[in-house]
Amino acid sequence: MGKDKKKEEAVFLRKKITLLRAFSLLIGSMVGSGIFISPKGVLKNSGTVGFSLVVWFACGLLSMFGALCYAELGTRITKSGGHYIYILETLGPLPSFLFLWAEFFAIRPANSAVVSLAFGRYLLEPFFAPCAAPVPAVKLVSLLGYYAVLTLNSWSVSWSARLQTALSIVKLLALVLIIVPGMMLLAQGHTENFQDAFDKQLLVPDKLPLAFYAGMFAYSGWFQTSFVREELVRPERNIPLAVIVSVITVIVGYMLTNVSYYTALGTQDVLASPAVAVSFVQRACRSLISVVPVLVALSCFGTMNGGILTFSRTLFVASREGQWPPLFSMIHIRRHTPLPAVMLMFPLVTTMVCIGDIYHLMNFFSFSRWLFIGLATLGLIVHRCRHPELQSPFKVPLFIPVSFTIICLFTVAMSFYSDPVNISIGCTMVLSGFPVYYLVIHRQMSNRCRSLLYYVTQKLQLLLEVVQQEIKTY
């Protein structure tokens, strides 16, 4: 009885994420705002309908390669933390800190801002059609949605996981309600928008990296199980199974959705639309005009939930590894949620939602994200060379991490030519982490600074009712 009571009272992140929840987390993170806002970005930077469909399929294939690499990393490295912990364990503390720095100040807040802005736009669109929703109203609703998800993740891991499962069904329903009318139109012979689908004169090669950024943004989320590795039930089995099934599902769904878009909407219609799914419904199936935007908004809500659920684990693991303030490795004594890590994103996302634009934000954070994802898969190759004796329960052919790494780093390099301003800002954000690393992490803090940090941590610990995670011994 005493041992059972001790188990119940111990404070740690429990293994509550089953295979179904892992699959729901991946589907819920991938199918969100991307498929409803990225078609415009992919088409604009690829030039034609045909080339845009090629980009969508290539992004899906690239995502599968990345997902397989991360599945192997997840079976080799048993810690949570995703990109951060993989880079730390394979390439060392400096690259991992630079990722953490860029993730906190650029990648995650900008990504969350894009998704929340899409949530606000689609939720308000039916109320203002045929006019565009006012920007201040969109931003206000976007912030309210983000704060609701923030509160839920501070309250309960189980409830946020259950919500993710439910919203994954909603996301697939939203895609079905777009795919079915589109396929019906296609079966009726509406192929006029596919004429000259591969007109080479409209292809702009130097813009293709931006098309890939937009497409990969829609698929982003295939790596989410790596952030919650320690909370997964049977991770050596469930990680590979969940990523393979979910990525294949999303590739098929995205290709059919884009074909449906182009069946009903011409190139200029897509480029002129602030909300492609709404424009599609207005043209193809007006009876769904009040249903699809709400389902799309709920899809975005699920993506926000998945993003907060996983990013809080990155900060949690980073503070446990000594590269982030110790407060953020603490867990609420009753809720068993990493409350400080969850709340840390509040001010940055609020700022970016208030001042940002969806497509500029997308280019801004994509540079840093794909740079570090490429480094993480490079780390897989390094880890194999350093530890040939390690028997991983899941192993991919070497050409997969090599191909994925080269494509990621090549796309990152080419994007400097495609969008020099936003990419330069993203690069500067990454490089600004160098002095911080050497002043705060590499050098030992003075006793005075250490005492001040300890004092502040104690006060906040009492205020938030959080404690250090106990090491689980059973």
Tokens of 343: 């709340």
d(C-alpha 291, C-alpha 55), whole Å? 29
**Closest alpha carbon to 95 in 415, 282, 388, 373:** 373
Q: Compute the chain's Rg from CA coordinates.
A: 22
Q: Say what the pLDDT of residue 152 is.
A: 84
Residue 275 reports pLDDT greater than 50? yes
Q: What are phi and psi of 87, to 5 degrees?
A: -70, -40
Helices then strands (H, E): number in the chain? 21, 2
Residue 358 reports pLDDT greater than 80? no
Mean pLDDT of the residues in the chain? 82
The answer to which of 7-11, 175-179, 299-303, 396-400 has the lowest mean pLDDT is 7-11
Q: Is 233 exposed, middle or buried, given 0-12, 13-18 or 19+ CB atoms closer than 10 A?
A: middle
- The reported pTM is 0.82
Dump pLDDT digits (tens) for 288-318.
777 888 888 888 888 788 777 667 677 777 8
To 10 degrees, what angle do helices 346-355 and 108-128 make?
Answer: 50
d(C-alpha 285, C-alpha 182), whole Å? 9
Higher-confidence residue of 143 and 21: namely: 143
Tokens of 120: 């606000």
**Closest alpha carbon to 154 in 349, 331, 350, 347:** 331
Give the DSSP per-residue string, 357-385.
Answer: -HHHHHHHHHHHHHHHHHHHHHHHHHHHH
Q: Percent of the chain having pLDDT more than 90?
A: 17
**Closest alpha carbon to 293 in 284, 304, 281:** 281
